[in-house]
Amino acid sequence: MLSSSQPGASKHGQNLNLVFRALGDPTRRELLARLSKGPAMVTELARPFDMSLPAVGKHLRILENAGLIRRTVSGRVHQCALSPLPLKTAGEWLAKYTQFWDETFNSLNEYIRDDNVRE
């Protein structure tokens, strides 16, 4: 069934791991929401949180490793910007299940059930 190879061995799967795990933390979702309004430096991003600067720095690193933000250093200022493509990837993975969201089990659904949903 599904991918016959190892469960998350593909690069694609690895990205999904990093992205979904990154999204699983509320602080990081807040950071993304903030960055959706435009780039910001680290201190600026950290200000709203009741948390040390290094802690926020770590969250940003995780977002960066997931490809969700990019960082440009100029002087001592690290400017962070949203890099939303991985969100699209995640959205596309979820979209494969859209068919199941409306539990109108019609014949189309029947057809889909016989189809493969791949990892």
Partner DNA sequence: ATAATAGTAAACCATATGGTTTACTATATC
Partner DNA sequence: GATATAGTAAACCATATGGTTTACTATTAT
Residues that bind DNA (CB under 7 A): 21, 24-25, 27, 41-44, 50-55, 57-62, 71, 74-79
Give the DSSP H/E element, type plus range, for residue 76: none
Q: What's the rounded Cα separation, in Å, for the pair 5 and 24?
A: 26
Give yes or no for residue 2 binding a copy of itself (CB under 8 A): yes
Q: What's the rounded Cα separation, in Å, for the pair 46 and 57?
A: 8
48-87 residues near a copy of itself, rule: CB under 8 A: 48-49, 82, 84-85, 87
Min CB(17)–DNA separation in Å: 8
Spell out the long-range contacts of 95-99 with Cβ–Cβ below 8 A and sequence spacing 24 or more. Answer: none
Give the DSSP H/E element, type plus range, for residue 58: helix 53-65
The partner in contact with residue 104, picked from DNA, a copy of itself, none with C-beta cut-offs of 5 to 8 angstroms by kind, is none
Candidates 11, 101, 104, 107; binder of a copy of itself (CB under 8 A) is: 101
Min CB(45)–DNA separation in Å: 8
CB under 8 Å to 17, separation ≥6 — which residues? 8
Residue recorded with tokens 């190892």 = 6
Contacting residues toward a copy of itself, per CB under 8 A: 1-3, 7-9, 13, 16-21, 23-27, 29-30, 32-34, 36-38, 48-49, 82, 84-85, 87-88, 90-91, 93-98, 100-101, 113-114, 116-119
